[in-house]
Structure 1
């Protein structure tokens, strides 16, 4: 009998050539990874099962949940064709489990004809505890007055250590940070382009099982109007400014087309970068709790939220919104750090040109753009008032000035309120 089986295998290997030989000699088992890795779970928590078999490919995968004498199959998949990688998602909801311990048994089998044609199988068993009780959230701060385009802050307590905690505004989530007193504190933004009727901030906390606790709080949304502006784009401007982007945009040398790509595509890429950079924010406050400095002896040239229509040869070519405040004083003026923190970026950044970004902790960062000279390095601790560079015309700047921005979780907000100690005391420090 053993000779007969071996003969069959040999014939298959010879008939299939390299593929048959691979199926016959493959002794590697499928790889299994399951996330999240927490040992507690809620019925609606989505599990992600990642499978891989680089040799003969995957044949099937199965997930079975067991609690006491109850056994339910949550996933039973057969792959019609060889699959090297597969991702499957499932929840516990169909199982109807009760709170308490349960077991997940996962098996994955490849298409090898090893083990007398049964293939190689990997089995993984995980122990969990089902938790269906959402975390309790108590908002402890008062008087949440938020201007459109500006920043709010909230503090709250949570009944258990969360997996994540923060404030939800529309589709945006602003993370909160645990303070030394055990409470959580978080900034959030009233977006400049959000209808005040749709501004409904809420605290959202997710526990380690995946249960979600939501808490509303009283707030006052203060609407404001933003200026409309027109900017003329000249050929002289395009000829002088676009060459700095030639290494970034290589598919055309039409300066107008390069400008439109920079003002749109590169601008969007910059926004994504700022959101990623915000993840490096320190979990503690780094600034001195005093009003932020502004460029000395500087006159404002453009405001936050200015809606710009760009004109070229008397025709409209684009529309964008200015997300910061432009300040101009002397050409090449020294630029002081608005407050104490750590330099997290120093270099060329798309529309902003030569740029420095300082992290002040808890998701708060300041941005200094269009510089001609940078005098700091990434990772450097910097004190309030310390010179970080000089104003210039890099990026899309038409004249020597500083573009100053205040970011919360990577989103630019109105800097003006951060220059006001009274606003800081009432709206930020009172929440701490």
Structure 2
């Protein structure tokens, strides 16, 4: 019996040893991914090295550059314990390279005892060119007059094709697009809540190597004052409107608390969604260059930029800003597309309720909210004046109306400008 136990133990030990041997001598080599993976580079551009080894784990990684008879180590990282994944960052700045070709070498080794204990090694070499010269920017458009809460446009030439280009306002870059005539064109926003003194738009371009150039241009910032408004939130309003959000907010049935979370948390979520949707904009102008249509025979109920203070039972409970224009005509009025484009979104969207968003290209979109009926589908091409739905009271609407918004890269801006052909001619089309 003891002999059988010993044999069984020996078999298990041998099996374990064999498994350990095969683990330590795995044939899986490390995987290396480099970003950005361009053929040109600038000294200060940061590279990200993503490493992985599904077998015995990473042991070390080394990054070197060579130019002529000069070789410099930029990174040499050893891992004390097996690592399945790792991310390392480096730049070329410490190497002191000159403009021109150089070689980038990356070597990664795992902890296997293969190759007489040296491990599996993978090495990649890339031939790159160092470029320290930023692109040259030539602003070609004139008379950039921008109202607070409104939109501006600029056109410019670049000395080379770039990785990114656009208008920098504060910390946000509004992308520009290269047109068929070779010029770049871009919309930008004068945010409603930005101090006119700090509104300083500039053209920014980053070439494929990572060199950045910034160019000022002449502009006129036109300040604007926005209306203050007071709204009373009634129990009848809460009881009729909050059930729409019971499937979204499930941890309470206190209608006032639900309302506050919708008016704040969901409002912020909607803003993020609008910014993300704008990234899918068409890289060409889809509208007909004529003034945008307004809901026919409609009276304005609320304006863009209205600062609202909300009260419940005589007590202030919240403050928000109304982004868009509310228009009311007949109950269930047909809503025409303000201009031609492609339907980018249809469905229920938080504070807006049943909503349609049309993409007009180059970051320009229009939003139609609080609908009772939607008659178009996502991805559908739509013509100016085509009926997309009917007005309603969905979302946070207190009465039947259309919330109409004009968005530039997800930022709601004053729609009134886009109803004015003279403004479009002077501020948009002249830049083309």
Interval containing the TM-score (normalised by the shorter chain)? over 0.9
Correspondence for 1:347: 347
- Aligned pairs for 1:393-408 (under 5 A) are 393-408=393-408
1:352-382: CA deviations, max 9, x gaps? 1110001111111000000000000111111
Q: How far is 1:235 from its partner?
A: 1.7
Paired residues of 1:371 and 1:393 also in contact (CA < 8 A)? yes
Q: State the 4+ residue runs in structure 1 displaced beyond 4 angstroms.
A: 13-19
TM-score normalised by L of structure 1: 0.94
Q: How far is 1:20 from its partner?
A: 3.8
- Tell which deviates more after alignment, 345-354 or 255-264: 255-264
Paired residues of 2:343 and 2:377 also in contact (CA < 8 A)? yes
Aligned length: 421
Correspondence for 1:420: 420
SS for the counterpart of 2:160 is coil
Paired residues of 2:24 and 2:56 also in contact (CA < 8 A)? no
TM-score normalised by L of structure 2: 0.94
Q: How far is 1:296 from its partner?
A: 0.7
Correspondence for 1:7: none
- Tell which deviates more after alignment, 78-87 or 280-289: 78-87
**Please, what is the CA RMSD of the aligned residues?**
1.7
1:8-32: CA deviations, max 9, x gaps? xx9xx97987984564242211110
Correspondence for 2:26: 26
* Structure 1: gaps spanning 5 or more residues: 1-9
| Distance in 1 between residues matched to 2:192 and 2:297, nearest whole Å | 28
SS for the counterpart of 2:273 is helix
| Distance in 2 between residues matched to 1:22 and 1:411, nearest whole Å | 57
Paired residues of 1:106 and 1:124 also in contact (CA < 8 A)? yes
1:52-111: CA deviations, max 9, x gaps? 112222221111011111111111111223222111111100101000001110011122
Correspondence for 2:276: 276
Q: How far is 1:307 from its partner?
A: 1.2
| Distance in 2 between residues matched to 1:190 and 1:28, nearest whole Å | 54
* Structure 2: gaps spanning 5 or more residues: 1-9
Correspondence for 1:409: 409
Q: How far is 1:230 from its partner?
A: 1.6
Correspondence for 1:258: 258
1:275-295: CA deviations, max 9, x gaps? 111111111111111110111
- Aligned pairs for 1:156-175 (under 5 A) are 156-175=156-175
Paired residues of 2:65 and 2:105 also in contact (CA < 8 A)? yes
SS for the counterpart of 2:256 is helix
- Alignment CA distance shift 1:331-1:81 (3 Å): same
| Distance in 2 between residues matched to 1:357 and 1:135, nearest whole Å | 36
Paired residues of 2:24 and 2:111 also in contact (CA < 8 A)? no
Correspondence for 2:382: 382
- Aligned pairs for 1:166-315 (under 5 A) are 166-315=166-315
Paired residues of 1:23 and 1:114 also in contact (CA < 8 A)? no
Correspondence for 2:3: none
1:270-327: CA deviations, max 9, x gaps? 1111111111111111111111011111111111111111222222222111111111
| Distance in 2 between residues matched to 1:385 and 1:180, nearest whole Å | 28
| Distance in 2 between residues matched to 1:376 and 1:356, nearest whole Å | 8
- Tell which deviates more after alignment, 152-161 or 55-64: 55-64
Paired residues of 1:405 and 1:412 also in contact (CA < 8 A)? yes
| Distance in 1 between residues matched to 2:21 and 2:313, nearest whole Å | 69
1:124 maps onto 2:94 in alignment? no
| Distance in 1 between residues matched to 2:340 and 2:109, nearest whole Å | 57
| Distance in 2 between residues matched to 1:356 and 1:338, nearest whole Å | 12
| Distance in 1 between residues matched to 2:310 and 2:18, nearest whole Å | 62
